Structure 1
Amino acid sequence: MSNSSSDVIVVGAGVVGAACAYYAARSGLSVTVVDRGPVAGGTTGAGEGNLLVSDKEPGPELELALLSTRLWRELARELPARIEYEAKGGLVVASDASAMAALRKFAAAQAGAGVTAEEIPADRLHDVEPHLAPGLGGGFRYPQDAQVQPALAAAHLLRASGARVRTGEEVTAVLTGTDGRVRGVRTAAGELHAPFVVNAAGTWGGEVARLAGGHLPVLPRRGFVLVTEPLPRVVRHKVYAADYVADVASGSAALQTSAVVEGTPAGPVLIGASRERVGFDRTLSVEVLRRLAAQATALFPVLAGVRAIRTYAGFRPYLPDHLPAIGPDPHVPGLLHACGHEGAGIGLAPATGLAVARQLTGGEPPLDLGPFHPGRFAPAA
């Protein structure tokens, strides 16, 4: 039986777990990362790599996103260029004058929170995105939006952390002492010991919390992405319709789709986004793909003649109030949570990792973590 020891064990080798490992190691802690599958084998590997502020209203999540935006820029300088960090900006488009007025109001509120947004009148949209459909009502460009290749970002964060990474080992128990304090985890390969365990298990975060005697109501929210054949750069920004913001904030379990279209440095165009709560059902939905294709070609008619070469599905780790759980479990000393980021985990990963590292070492939090405290979900006594 293994009896490996470290200062902290991170459960989850996606981008959030990798960021926790990176900042914990930079704080002087020894780190072990354990995952039931490969690096970025869950939600991270099925993501588009979005680093967004444009879709967030003023409040705690936007503050977390703005901090992460600054940290991603730093990481882009520190990590290899192969993470494909691209500060291309986002463009939110309105279908008509009424939708444009709503976007204008939304952007004005964001400006007070530190977001930069430039109004693009309808007659200038084609200067920004030449292949957009005619007749749109205008839009707002968000220069702070960016993109990374998420699996590469997770892998390079882990490599730079120097953490011991154990893949293919499912955590079957969170070990606690007679005083109830965490002392490590158990996997099929044996026991791993540490005085702190970070739950960065994404959609499985609720299960890891349960293993420790805690409670987090994390649910999977399925989404599909269409990938086109490689193209010249026909889409310059991340472009999405205004109703995408409402879909992100919705708590509905029903299917929702709203056009999100973006090019990549390698050439393929990524097309999303869909949301529905169907458990962990990976069944291919032709209806979802049909909707995504129709909405994408309505925004960019040039895509109508382009082949889609593959599609993939992923599960966003959903919490009922749409905010992640970041911080110590209220009932299990030594257990910290870093999960429930839904579709924003890649963008929010660095700030989450930095916040967890500060909590592990007793440092000053980088922002107010009260709204993210896992105790907000604790069952009533």
Structure 2
Amino acid sequence: MLTRNSSDVIVVGAGVVGAACAYYAAGSGLRVTVVDRGSVAGGTTGAGEGNLLVSDKEPGPELELALLSTRLWTELAKVLPPEIEYEPKGGLVVASHESGMAALKDFALQQEKAGVTAEEVPADRLHELEPHLAPGLAGGYHYPQDAQVMPALAAAHLLRAGGDRVTLRLGEEVTAVLTGVGGEVRGVRTSAGELHAPFVVNATGTWGGELARLAGVELPVLPRRGFVLVTEPLPRVVRHKVYAADYVADVASGSAALQTSTVVEGTQAGPVLIGASRERVGFDRTLSTEVLRRLAAEATAIFPVLGTVRAMRTYAGFRPYMPDHLPAIGPDPRVPGLLHACGHEGAGIGLAPASGLIIARWLSGDEPPLDIGPFRPERFASAAS
């Protein structure tokens, strides 16, 4: 019998991935407790830009996950309130030189075979899509499937849409994963007491490795810091998500060193968001003026109009980096009843619905929506032994 402190499944993490797990599990008829040591979207989700991208992913498991999530976000936008600011505005990848344009063309041809829509935009038509782009660019590719949401509100409304089947326990840190005599999960201990359930979902993002260790297993999640510059509210000077061709290479890189590549996008509320940087410096939140200088210089090189615009604030976040750039999604055979949905790096907001649906399908005993083999949480164990 369910009591006040018991449910069918406990989701640890109230970011957008945890919220999606709770939403789809509740939709399957399960009673869900979501526990977080902070607030809703208080970690990586709250520091995200809200990108829902297929344009930056090469053919393979992550792209399949992204294409499924693209369809699911379209469905969610019809049932969640407009406050989530879902906007299917499309993405535009631009190249400064002909060599970069050739690389974009090769990449797009591979993606098209996997189901991505990619439209070549010659140099003389770039300004039809983005009137304020700098002159002299070699061309680009338009990706109409790319979209954006306001991530914190998306997480909050996914949790709310779960109705009375979802119970929130905020401000409670998980200090232990409870197990039975056979090693199976039976709940968690938090700073406020014990919560009981036969299943626990690790949706703690960058801190996924810490929760895994509480359960007695290793998951190699590392923080990858990034900064975002936010401008004053503007008229819609940037219509799409616009980024330079080298952004794709930076996303795929495993380097710990600082990397910056131009990413510029407008928002429905008016401010322009400017990124992107990546570096592995642990959980150091120290403001880096070098990073901000690079971001501003690279953004104004592509959009000169931003050179006269004030930057109102900046914020940092930590992407949950995994060595093979694929998230861990699904059951962990090393601890019966433990599931993972973390390690999405900078794509967690975009990949959240598919990740949540996979978890819910497994909990309900249904077939997964795609092959989850590449996302097996235990796939690193053999390499470490």
**Structure 2 match to 1:192:** 195
* 1:375 shift after superposition: 1.2
**Equivalent residue of 2:220, what SS?**
coil
What per-residue deviation string (whole Å, max 9, x for no partner) do you get for residues 163-201 of structure 1?
100111000000000010000000011000000000000
Q: Secondary structure at the match of 1:378?
A: helix
RMSD: 0.8
Match of 1:367 among 357, 365, 370: 370
Matched AA of 1:142: Y
2:337 aligned with 1:318, yes or no?
A: no
Q: 1:231 aligns with which of 208, 230, 234?
A: 234
Q: Which amino acid counterpart does residue 309 of structure 1 have in structure 2?
A: M
Q: State how 1:1-381 maps to structure 2 within 5 Å.
A: 4-162=5-163, 163-378=166-381, 380=384
Deviation at 1:330, TM superposition (A): 2.2
Aligned residues: percent identity? 84
* Alpha-carbon separation, structure 2, partners of 1:175 and 1:276: 35
1:291-314: per-residue Cα shift (whole Å, max 9, x none)?
A: 000000000000000000000000
Q: Unpaired runs of 5+ in structure 2?
A: none
Equivalences, count: 380
SS in 2 for 1:48: coil
CA distance in 1, matches of 2:314, 2:228: 6
Q: Is the 8 A contact 1:173 1:187 kept in 2?
A: yes
Please give the per-residue CA displacement for 1:227-266, whole angstroms capped at 9, x wherever unaligned: 0000000000000000000000000000000000000001
Letter in 2 for 1:260: V
Aligned residue for 1:4, secondary structure, equals coil
Cα distance, 1:3 vs structure 2: 6.3
SS where residue 267 of structure 1 aligns?
coil
Aligned partners of 1:249, 1:378: CA distance in 2, in Å?
Answer: 22
Equivalent AA in structure 2 for residue 290 of structure 1: R
Q: Aligned partners of 1:171 and 1:287: how far apart in 2?
A: 36
The aligned amino acid for 2:91 is G
- How many Å separate the matches in 1 of 2:353 and 2:133? 33
- 1:103 Cα deviation from its structure 2 partner: 0.3
Q: In 2, Cα distance between the equivalents of 1:378 and 1:44? A: 28
CA displacement 1:340-374 (0-9 Å, x = unmatched): 00000000000000000011111011000000001
Q: Distance in 2 between matches of 1:330 and 1:92?
A: 40
Q: Deviations over 1:317-336 (max 9, x none)?
A: 00000000001112100000
1:3 and 1:193 in contact (8 A); partners too: no
Q: How far did residue 214 of structure 1 move?
A: 1.3
8 Å contact kept, 1:197–1:336: yes
- Specify the SS of the correspondent of 2:5: strand
SS at match of 2:66: helix
> Whole-Å Cα distance in 2 between the matches of residues 210 and 251 of structure 1?
23
The superposition leaves residues 100-127 of structure 1 with CA deviations (integer Å, 9 ceiling, x where unpaired) of 0110010000000000011000011011
TM-score, normalised on structure 1? 0.99
> 3-state DSSP class of the match of 1:287?
helix
Amino acid paired to 1:153: A
Cα distance in 2 between the residues matched to 1:216 and 1:276: 20
User: Runs of 5+ in structure 1 lacking a partner?
Assistant: none
Give the Cα separation in 1 of the matches to 2:103 and 2:253. Answer: 17
Question: TM (normalized to structure 2)?
Answer: 0.98
Q: Distance in 2 between matches of 1:375 and 1:3?
A: 33
Letter paired with 1:157: L
Q: Deviations over 1:110-166 (max 9, x none)?
A: 000000011000011011100000000000000000000000000000001121001
